[in-house]
Amino acid sequence: MCYKNLSGISWEDLQSLSLVERGKYFNQEGGLPYHTLIAQQFNRTNLDLLCNLTTKVRHICKTKQGVSFMKDLGCGKRAIIYFDQPSTRTRLSFEAACDILGIDRSLVDNPAETSSEKKGESKLDTMRTFSSYGNMIIMRTIQQGLAEQTAWHLAQTRRPVPVFNGGSGKDQHPTQMLLDVYTFKRSMEKVGGLTSKTIVFVGDLKRGRTVRSLAWALTNYTPIKLVFCALDRFQILPDVLEWLDAAPGVEYELTSNFTQAIREADGLYMTRMQDEHDESGESKGVDTFNLTPDNVNTMKPTAVIHHPLPRRDEIHTAIDTDPRAMQWRGVRNGQWMRVADIATVFGWHTDIEDYWRKNHI
């Protein structure tokens, strides 16, 4: 099923590839996702396909007939949902996406306490067990690379089920990236879409996995300018800048001037301090950049404000009613985008397209 077969490469050789090359092992022949592991397996073609499908899914689910059509697609499939880090939106939206598609689900939450990991079972044995009961694995883990390793490991077995990365350490969050791209794209429809825009990232850019995945994904919407606004010690890491250097049509700037950055923004991506990754309290007492009812007025009238959430003070709650604030719409988009992603992995996107043609045109 994979475009380049994961069973034909050693784990070490896979690790030595560039992220874009590695991504080819996670996609189906034809370039649609099989696993959803890293932002670099996505390109303009599969991103646009997923965004268009998300819009159709949203509309189809407005009717009872559409809801039952969708629910039939995943009948007989089971998802195993494994989260070893806290989550509200990612977990609930994956659960909702499974329900919308009629996929049964089993949840393994807090595995260190509740699963055989407590008895010393390895994570890979745990994952192999999941593949015996489930047709897909959805996982969030602090352990960077575990989702990829699970996909590789299962490719060497008779049940190489698709793996969905719901957040891996400080590294990547590809399904959040999908909903972020969709949210920006959809909100910018009236101003010509994402291309030729300035997107400003603010906050803990060093340890924010959503920022790393989204920054790469936006290189598919060139020409584009990315501004990284952070205190020096929380600034975006050099590996991301290398990705951007290699992408034609991408301009970027590093700054700590929040006042100036928000004035220039067509899209603003606020993030919180990722203090769970502190090694010695480095983010304690740090003044964060916050959007307030005062400074939001300096932003363009067409700007799109977004946040992956959870937030602390980065976006004042009074701004939630500002028509430019899209972070809550983003939460709901996450459910629909995850439906689209899962449906595409299992090949149901063609059924959805057929249903759309027959019922919505």
Using rule CB under 6 A, residue 209 touches ligand NCD: yes
Using rule CB under 6 A, residue 174 touches ligand NCD: no
User: How far apart are CB 300 and ligand NCD at their closest, in Å?
Assistant: 25
Confirm whether 316 is a catalytic residue. Answer: no
- The residue among 99 and 171 lying less far from ligand NCD, judged by its C-beta, is 171
Please report, as residue ranges, which positions from 14 to 73 form the binding site for ligand NCD (by CB under 6 A).
none
User: What is the b/e burial string over 133-153, where b = at least 16 CB atoms within 10 angstroms of the residue's CB?
Assistant: ebbbbbbbbeeebbbbbbbbb
Among 46, 90, 141, 198, binds ligand NCD (CB under 6 A): 90
Pair 34, 60: CB distance under 8 Å = no
Judged by CB under 6 A, the stretch of 37-45, 60-68, 117-125, 303-311 that binds ligand NCD is 303-311
Q: Which residue in 35, 58, 89, 197 is the catalytic one?
A: 89
User: Residue 28: what residue type?
Assistant: Q
User: How far apart are CB 349 and ligand NCD at their closest, in Å?
Assistant: 24
Among 206, 207, 272, 306, binds ligand NCD (CB under 6 A): 272
Among 173, 186, 212, 225, binds ligand NCD (CB under 6 A): 173
Alpha-carbon separation of residue 105 from 62, 71, 165, 200, 250 (angstroms): 23, 14, 16, 37, 41
Among 167, 169, 174, 267, binds ligand NCD (CB under 6 A): 167
Q: Which residue in 90, 150, 198, 344 is the catalytic one?
A: 90
Pair 271, 208: CB distance under 8 Å = yes
Confirm whether 173 is a catalytic residue. Answer: yes
**Residues that bind ligand NCD in the complex, under the rule CB under 6 A:** 89-90, 167, 173, 176, 209-210, 271-272, 308-310
